[in-house]
Amino acid sequence: MASSSSSPLSRQSVTAAVAQLYNTYPFPPEPLLDEPPPGYNWRWHWTAAHAFCTGRSPDRQAIRVLDAGCGTGVGTEYIAHLNPQAKITGIDLSDRALETARNRCQRSGAQNVRFQTLSIYDVGQLEGTFDWINCVGVLHHMPDPQAGIQALATKLAPGGLLHIFVYAALGRWEISLMQEAIGLLQGERRGDYTDGVQVGRQIFAHLPETNRLRRREEERWSLENHRDANFADMYVHPQEVDYTVNTLFELIDASGLMFLGFSNPRYWDLSRLIGSQPDLMARSAVLSQHQRYRLVELLDPEITHYEFFLAKPPLDRLDWSDDGQLRQARVQRHPCMQGWPSQSIFDYDYQMVDLTAAEFQSLTYCDQAESAPTVAELVAATELDLGEVRSLQQRQLIVLTAPTA
């Protein structure tokens, strides 16, 4: 469960233990490639992430990005290749993880990135501010996540975006029990991470087959945990804070930043759980957004993490409800799409989408135009109407650029 602060001394010793874990088992242990990583992750694509958060394309591509707690640089490498005009800084506590990150980016030809050993608590030492900060899988391993998120918030430029991933308590319940069990059996040897991995693997191998912890490991996690680095990251961690919606929003409130939304809105849609019951949905209408989120996770406690975007105001967000503004906007096909050109494609989130003939015709028109057409030009030249343009935008199949004032 979440604890919010710690004394400087325990903060230092816990941070040293975390660095020691990742110097023993740099994470993630993904292999290095001699070419850019395959596919995309829209959360690491500036145009896609910005359009998701604000409804519009960003004003600039030449941005500064901070990957805070970059580990061995798997995410950093994607950010570097997906955003070739960006200048990226990756920081981490672990020198061994950073060594791999440097090699990874060098081998795949990412030249717009540099790495530095630095704690998130000390990001004030970096020059200037960042347009976009990525902090995935890190804050929950800090003894004082609140100080961590506040430090990141000070480095965010006005209008900048902060992408965060932290653990959720409900779906990690079995993991937390196993962590404690391994710790008890390690006793004095706690902090010896290879011993922890050995003890954990031995327990799993010999628990009864029907045991709840064992079943959860086998059904949900074992595919990734065959590597010791993954197993150690999950079960032998010296520091982990798991959140609930309630404690998550305490953390977010402490950042002073604006919550823009979860990056997986489908999970947070209450109607997927009780939508068949209009009276229950009507009862939920009086709840705050925060309470509705809590209700979703209570009813569907499989959730293992929260992934979301925050922003430093001011931030222009457009819902494109104004017809005049929409008609003047410029349109491009969404940059994260697989299988194009075809009427059946995978969208930004790798979900299968069947485009209508008019949608397919319109995306083709956008691609073939010399420069991005306006919506007015698009609807004049194709079968699409304004409602369908809005639908394409809401489903992240196009990106709209706001007309300049």
Ligand X SMILES: C[S@@+](CC[C@H](N)C(=O)[O-])C[C@H]1O[C@@H](n2cnc3c(N)ncnc32)[C@H](O)[C@@H]1O
Q: Provide the mask over 207-246, with x wherever binding to ligand X is found by CB under 6 A and - wherever it is not.
A: --------------------------x-------------
Are the C-beta atoms of 123 and 152 separated by less than 8 Å? Answer: yes
Residue 115 vs 320, nearer CB to ligand X: 115
Q: Taking the complex as a whole, how short is the minimal distance between the CB of residue 239 and ligand X, in angstroms?
A: 8
**Is residue 41 a contact point for ligand X (CB under 6 A)?**
no
Residue 241 vs 331, nearer CB to ligand X: 241
Amino acid at 10: S
**Is residue 136 a contact point for ligand X (CB under 6 A)?**
yes
Phi (first) and psi of residue 114, to 5 degrees = -135, 155
**Is residue 15 a contact point for ligand X (CB under 6 A)?**
yes
- What are the contacts of 189-196 at 24+ separation with CB within 8 A? 190/238, 191/17, 191/20, 191/238, 193/20, 193/21, 193/24, 193/25, 193/232, 193/236, 194/24, 194/228, 196/232, 196/235, 196/236
Could you give the CA distance from residue 134 to residue 348 in angstroms, rounded to a whole number?
A: 18
Q: Name which position in 6, 22, 147, 232 contacts ligand X (CB under 6 A).
A: 22
Query: Which helix (DSSP H) or strand (DSSP E) does residue 151 occupy?
Result: helix 145-154
Q: Taking the complex as a whole, how short is the minimal distance between the CB of residue 227 and ligand X, in angstroms?
A: 13
Q: Provide the mask over 142-161, with x wherever binding to ligand X is found by CB under 6 A and - wherever it is not.
A: x-------------------
Residue where the block lists tokens 């009276």: 279
**Is residue 77 a contact point for ligand X (CB under 6 A)?**
no
Residue 73 vs 183, nearer CB to ligand X: 73
Residue nearest to ligand X (CB): 71
Residue 248 vs 379, nearer CB to ligand X: 248
Could you give the CA distance from residue 337 to residue 334 in angstroms, rounded to a whole number?
A: 7
Amino acid at 278: P
* Piece in contact with ligand X (CB under 6 A), picked from 58-66, 136-144, 268-276, 347-355: 136-144
Could you give the CA distance from residue 123 to residue 127 in angstroms, rounded to a whole number?
A: 9
Residues forming contacts to ligand X in the complex (CB under 6 A) are 15, 18-19, 22, 27-28, 69-71, 74-75, 91-94, 97, 119-121, 136-138, 141-142, 233
